[in-house]
Chains A and B, each alone.
Chain A
């Protein structure tokens, strides 16, 4: 703590204005460095034939198929590298609003895309996939869960998404429409965490997306059970962002969105358990 008030006993005191100048210079330097950092991710508008790095912000549930699409898209467009940032849809929108550099945004529901549009972050979007809710239970369904009505069993440790996030909002809506009152032991902040509570053996059942069920079944860590009640599927929109539309990556960003909505992209999404829009 000897940094505090060193002027008192400094052996060779420097004039105050020299030290002030140093402080101001340091401050300017730090701010410039920080500003440089926040801009480091954005593509540089330089030569036209230079390699292109496309930045895609996508909902966490899309990570599997989008990684595959990115590789295939890169192979079909030499010089193009697709780089992903996966996260909760609302989170991605707030990151975009704070100036995060992304060329394409894909969210897990229309509500969050509408938020992006309201903030003029994404001019236009198109629907490219749907996702439904299902029940994820331990492998081979040891408790014999047959549908949503069994989720009220008192001996059952049930995990859902919090109503604040897309999968939780959908769960709430669906259960209310079916007149089923559930008592979850945890309301997770995202669907991956909810599924994880079952695949790790902590909970008996989770209401998640069919795509999460597909992932768990492929890994042998869970079994899916249909809800067995009416539900409105979540619809996934995708769009080129305002930054993407005005920058040097416009053509590539549009080609990427077209690729996702066309046959090649749709085939990958269907394989991961997504439905047609």
Chain B
């Protein structure tokens, strides 16, 4: 929690604040109430649910690794090297965060699809992405990496510069500064960014549906399974949704609220 002194808030502020809280909490409560608890175990461990969950975990892990491999350097470059137009670049990196999911899916389709900008050359080279698990990972990375970059970049900009300058004046080469000073200092930001990216990848729906298709064990992740189950077995859809809510709650409680709250500075 923050260390600065608290201020008294006007009493009336509690009314809209409580209404806002209720508005956010009520749907989650409704989900808990609406779950068929007697069959909950059976619903979330059905073969199709387990296959979807396993696929989701695998693809989200892969997307998180990709986000780390490419996102970490991107964040360091944006925060430290400050290339020309880095503000615009940062806005560009954040864009997938605010895009409607289906728009992201269409964009990926136009890029990596069979007739897409890059996809048509990949097809020629014998690389088929459409309808494969790779497509799911691409869609998830597209929406997850911005979380990591923004989270890490925020940590980098929050005042590790002095230590780095000292290290540099003492003769440490840039690689050593990065390894021994910068990354250890921003480790908390890196961890929370990674967890947030993983959670975002796990929840990806729109881009996957538009871009990767839906086939059990290959592209039908847990959110897509929920979407399909809604048609036949709403009770199963609600139970599976609750699994995703639980994962989300876990993430937010462990690292998310700290990062999003901005308390790390």
Contacts and interface: CB of A to CB of B under 8 A. Distances in A.
Interface in B1-34: 1-2, 5-9, 11-12, 14-19, 22-23, 26
Nearest to B258: A1
B219 A200 contact: no
B109 interface: yes
A129 B113 CA distance: 36
A164 B232 contact: yes
Interface string A1-27: 111101011111110001100110111
A11 B213 CA distance: 57
A187 B225 CA distance: 11
Contact of A26 (B2, B16, B130): B16
Contacts of A185: 130-131, 213, 215, 218
Contact of A187 (B6, B214, B263): B214
Interface in A86-122: 88, 90-91, 94
A178 interface: no
B250 interface: no
A165 to B, nearest CB: 5
Contacts of B109: 200, 202
A94 B234 contact: yes
B213 A34 contact: no
Contact of A23 (B14, B130, B220, B263): B14
Contacts of B214: 162, 186-189
A19 B8 CA distance: 13
Given A3-B17, A26-B15, A185-B131, A11 B113 contact: no
Contact of A12 (B5, B8, B23, B234): B8
Contacts of A164: 228-229, 231-232
Which 4 residue pairs across A and B have the least CB separation, nearest first? A186-B213, A26-B18, A11-B8, A201-B115
Given A1-B263, A11-B8, A200-B113, 6 more contacts: A10-B6, A22-B18, A30-B23, A184-B215, A188-B214, A201-B115
24 contacts: A1-B257, A1-B261, A2-B6, A2-B7, A6-B9, A9-B5, A12-B8, A13-B8, A14-B11, A19-B14, A25-B15, A27-B19, A30-B19, A90-B231, A94-B234, A157-B130, A164-B228, A186-B214, A187-B215, A188-B214, A189-B227, A200-B109, A201-B113, A202-B131
